[in-house]
Chains A and B, each alone.
Chain A
Amino acid sequence: MLETEIRVTPKLAAEHGLTAEEYARILSILGREPNFTELGIFSVMWSEHCSYKSSRAHLRRLPTRGPQVVQGPGENAGVVDIGDGLVAAFKMESHNHPSYVEPFQGAATGVGGILRDIFTMGARPIAVLDSLRFGPLAAEAGVDEATAARNRRVLDGVVRGIAFYGNCFGVPTIGGEVAFEPGYSGNPLVNVLALGIAKREDLFFARAQGVGNPVLYVGSKTGRDGIHGASLLASAEFNELSEEKRPNVQVGDPFLEKLLLEACLEAMATGAIVAIQDMGAAGLTSSSCEMASRGGLGIEMNLDRVPQRETGMTAYEMMLSESQERMLLVAERGRESEIVQVFAKWGLDAVEIGRVTEDGMLRLVHHGQVVAEIPAHPLAEQGPVYQRPIARPAAQPETRRVPLSAADTDLTPNLMRLLASPTVASKRFIFEQYDYMVRTNTIECPGAGDAGVLRLKGTRRGLALATDGNGRWTQLDPKMGAKAAVAEAARNVACTGARPMAATNCLNFGNPEKPEVMWQFSEAIDGIAEACTSLEIPITGGNVSFYNDTLGKSIEPTPILGVLGVLEDASRMLGMGFCAEGDAVVLLDGRGESGLAEEGDAREFGSSEFAKTVHGIASGAPPTVDLAAEKRLIRLLEALAATGVARSAHDISDGGLAVTIAESCFASEGLSTEAKLSGAEPAEIACFGERGARAIVSAAPARVAELLAHAREYGVRGQEIGRVCRGTFAIEYNSRSVVRAPVETLRESWARALERALQG
């Protein structure tokens, strides 16, 4: 039976993931029954992935404005002004489900998709960061060996896929993070952040203009791959049959994308392009109707002209295909040939397939017949918006407290276990598979600092980027966990000496039809909104990934924040590694003198990496985030870098103070530390507690007084706790030795742990 003959029924609509109300809405928009092609088009545009129907009402609470914001949410990427006439376009997106079904291609096309979002704005991509989450790599309580083995395979495939795409394309992968929790076993997270730069006047937008202007299709040919990727793969829970969704995963061609990049930038420079949008999720459908809708116009396309990889493709298949490395653009009538020539030079198709119309319709012609006719604006913008039910989950059972050791216990073995846990251990095995230097801008490489830093050639400035998020914390307290993600990403950026200026986010949650998941989501939005407002880093875009559920169980809710900062003088950048023997090690605490009494909250310690690694406990609450304290610390760090008083800076996060100091040693050339701490709380909490708004900095002894004076001026408590030395790594607490080992022994347990864990 021909598709045109397929009768659309409410049942067929339901099979396309559309509810009865949504179907009724389609009937009312069209004033008639849709045909099969139109039904397909509505189903992808109104999928959760494309329409944000469950999240839209909440996303409005995020702060999106600021003097630095050139383009907020709603375009292909957010854009901020970074000075010297330059703008930065950046955005983060998820590719979670595809990366589980087919790790290599899923992750690869995740990179490809977000890169197109950047260069479609006219910005050349200059960096990628990846925020990855996997299930445990070794069997543990609740995780059998088969699951752990699969987690290892998924990680390996994801890393190879990211490397395959980014390395070939020629964009450096300069950072990100990797963490492990049981909830990610059946549903890993692959969130990719891409950053590009352009001259402000060279930006492009996806807004169709000029009735009669031609619509050009450029890039790869359309095939049957990825059909319903956005609707069936990204917008539904996983079950035992998810493996069968492998054909819904697209296949990436980074070489073609590289050609597409060069051709697009060159074609943009001709001035003959009016608007451009990449064909990502929902491919030809979303690119055409969104450009038309934003311009308040219509687009008519003749599908016979669409370059096709396979024969006999139907209108439905072409409109829903998610074949990669394609773009749709509107050209200035009469100048098409300039664009075609540029694409021909790069060996790419550029074919006129339609034109801009004034009637506001998305109209498709195939084999001489009109096969779809839908008002573009309602299709793109008037999809359903849900206020889904919200319910706070039942109170957690009484939390298990972390058993604390006697005061004179040697904590060295616990520190070593912590350093060898996959979340804390060195990620060198992963990041060395990525080209993090191509384009010769990377001045802070992975592992060298809390954020990736790029110089901007031709200026004195640098850009710092970091991503962060803690699913375990957000599970325990969604609002606090989300605040912590913002605070830590901003703190990481500040540790390089940069001023955090804007953020993007990727919100990974379970099934939004579950009221408990919507509660987590709503709380997390509130947390992000509060933190971003307080730290003056507006959200310029991002992505929501719902339905991260497998067999009915949701992941740990995981908002990932990507924060961009500007370093006024890139030569003043700070790394995390200690620089010289004899330097003073100073602990900075943004809470100032008054905050110290709060320390020692055993309930917060239950959510630490230490509690998880050493005692298998994940309970209690995340550390309370004090945003005013975070802000004081951030401003101080910026000043310490700018004045050159500090020589290194590293924020205190996973694993607490002891791990932070150890990492600053590992990032140096063989240096160590002897530190003396004192306080009222138990030694384990002092060494391994993860309270925020703190950092470890180092300075030449002669400049310590100046450093402490700066700290006082900013309302931050500064305390010299030790000296950089060689050989033995030692921590004394209240005059008792609690950690003592050769620094090389500690480094060994940290350096190769991940590689060993991956070998199974």
Chain B
Amino acid sequence: MQITEGASGMKFGVVVFPGSNCDHDAWHVLGTVLGQPVEFLWHQSENVDGFDGIILPGGFSYGDYLRTGAIARFSPVMRGIARFAERGGLVLGICNGFQILCEAGLLPGALMRNQGMRFICRHAHLRVETTATPFTAAATRGDVLRVPIAHGEGNYFCDAATLAELERDDRIVFRYVTPEGRAVAEGNPNGSLANIAGICSRERNVMGMMPHPERASEMELGSADGLVVLRSMVQSLTHTGHLAQASAISA
């Protein structure tokens, strides 16, 4: 799908917490690669009116000295985002953003230290488990995407009941797989439960993922497979009424 610049009238927000360090990268893909209007959202601002999609970027909010995301969840902007999500606004948490969404209770489960107890930066393979989300609508189920990970705490965990619910409701969006697409231990870089790399909320408008789609959105960086996530957001906002919904509320 060709996206025409600015035609949609939508606006993205990229949250800046103290210690966010992938904020510029997310901004670059939305603003420069996809040509969408995008602004930074300061963590002190509780008001998120006027935004249609919000990205919680990667980084080390508050240094992650306590527990990843544990302090950021108390930021004023998170109160605004909780209400925004409740009203159906699209929220994507990448890496540290996923950790914050879990801490804030907008997504279930937790991200623990990697199984190997070391930070890992490398390309991982992700399988698209569902396209019934605004973040993967432009993908094909079963697609294997090559997208980098870069985290020390990406080992997803939840209790058995939650896992069953995630499976039953088709809320596991991405799984770590081998390059051939098999969800086995060999393809799991950090020990995540059931090879989970990304999940969405019950209402499907909030997604968290440890891999960095914004780092795989231009061929010169070695892969453009991640672009489908942000393109899906744009497409969903354009075509499925999310935009109207969010705008109506902010108006």
Contacts and interface: CB of A to CB of B under 8 A. Distances in A.
Nearest to A570: B220
- Residue among A169, A434, A435, A440 with the highest chain B CB neighbour number at 10 A: A440
B60 interface: yes
B62 interface: yes
A431 B150 CA distance: 12
Interface string A141-160: 00000000000000000001
B215 A255 contact: no
Given A443-B221, A445-B222, A571-B220, A258 B120 contact: no
Given A432-B120, A439-B24, A440-B214, A167 B220 contact: no
Contacts of A169: 21
A455 interface: yes
A60 interface: no
B248 to A, nearest CB: 33
Contacts of A431: 121
Interface in A167-220: 167-170
B220 A434 contact: no
A411 to B, nearest CB: 33
B141 interface: no
A160 B118 CA distance: 8
Contacts of B18: 255, 258-259, 346-347
B40 to A, nearest CB: 11
Contact of A438 (B19, B25, B120, B122): B25
B19 A437 contact: no
B113 interface: no
Measured as residues with beta carbon below 8 angstroms from the partner, the interface class of chain B is 20 to 34
Contact of B220 (A259, A347, A455): A455
A438 B118 contact: no
Contact of B150 (A255, A256, A347, A437): A437
Contact of A168 (B28, B64, B118, B215): B64
Contacts of B142: none
A442 B120 CA distance: 16
Given A167-B60, A167-B150, A455-B220, A438 B21 contact: yes
Nearest to B28: A440
A443 B118 CA distance: 24
Interface string A251-265: 001111011000000
B56 to A, nearest CB: 15
B127 interface: no
- Residue among B21, B25, B64 with the highest chain A CB neighbour number at 10 A: B21
Nearest to B42: A345
B219 to A, nearest CB: 10
B59 interface: yes
B124 to A, nearest CB: 11
B7 to A, nearest CB: 24
Nearest to B120: A432
Nearest to A170: B21
A440 B221 contact: yes
B25 A433 contact: no
A357 to B, nearest CB: 36
A433 B119 contact: yes
A258 to B, nearest CB: 6
A170 B152 CA distance: 14
A168 B221 contact: no
A432 B60 contact: no
Contacts of A438: 21-22, 25, 58, 150
A253 B148 contact: no
Interface in B47-84: 58-60, 62-65
A258 B215 contact: no
A239 B10 CA distance: 65
Chain B interface SS verdict (over half) = mixed
Interface in B2-38: 18-19, 21-22, 24-25, 28-29, 32
B212 interface: yes
- Residue among B25, B121, B152, B218 with the highest chain A CB neighbour number at 10 A: B121
B25 A439 contact: yes
B121 A168 contact: no
B220 A168 contact: no
B19 A440 contact: no
A258 B19 contact: yes
Contacts of B120: 432-433
A256 B148 CA distance: 26
Contacts of B65: 255
B212 A437 contact: yes
A255 B71 CA distance: 13
B99 to A, nearest CB: 14
Contacts of B222: 443, 445
A168 B29 CA distance: 21
Contact of B21 (A253, A258, A571): A258
Interface in B102-156: 118-122, 148, 150, 152
A346 B18 CA distance: 7
B150 A435 contact: yes
A256 B63 CA distance: 8
B19 to A, nearest CB: 5
A437 B215 contact: yes
Interface string A329-364: 000000000000000001100000000000000000
A333 B242 CA distance: 51
A521 interface: no
A443 B222 CA distance: 7
Contacts of B32: 457
Contacts of B212: 437
A445 B24 CA distance: 20
B19 A255 contact: yes
Contacts of A437: 121, 148, 150, 212, 215, 221
Contacts of A455: 220
Nearest to B16: A262
A170 B62 CA distance: 13
Contact of B59 (A170, A346, A433, A440): A170
Interface of A: 160, 163, 167-170, 253-256, 258-259, 346-347, 431-440, 442-443, 445, 455, 457, 570-571
30 contacts: A160-B118, A163-B119, A168-B60, A168-B63, A169-B21, A170-B21, A170-B60, A254-B60, A255-B18, A255-B19, A255-B62, A255-B65, A258-B21, A258-B60, A259-B18, A346-B18, A347-B18, A433-B119, A433-B120, A434-B119, A435-B121, A435-B150, A437-B150, A437-B212, A437-B221, A439-B24, A440-B29, A440-B221, A445-B222, A455-B220
Interface of B: 18-19, 21-22, 24-25, 28-29, 32, 58-60, 62-65, 118-122, 148, 150, 152, 212, 214-215, 218, 220-222
Given A168-B19, A438-B58, A457-B28, 20 more contacts: A167-B119, A167-B150, A169-B21, A170-B59, A254-B60, A255-B60, A255-B62, A255-B64, A255-B65, A256-B63, A258-B60, A432-B122, A433-B118, A436-B121, A437-B121, A439-B24, A439-B25, A443-B222, A455-B220, A571-B220
Closest 10 CB pairs of A and B: A170-B21, A255-B63, A168-B60, A440-B25, A435-B150, A435-B121, A433-B119, A163-B119, A437-B215, A255-B19
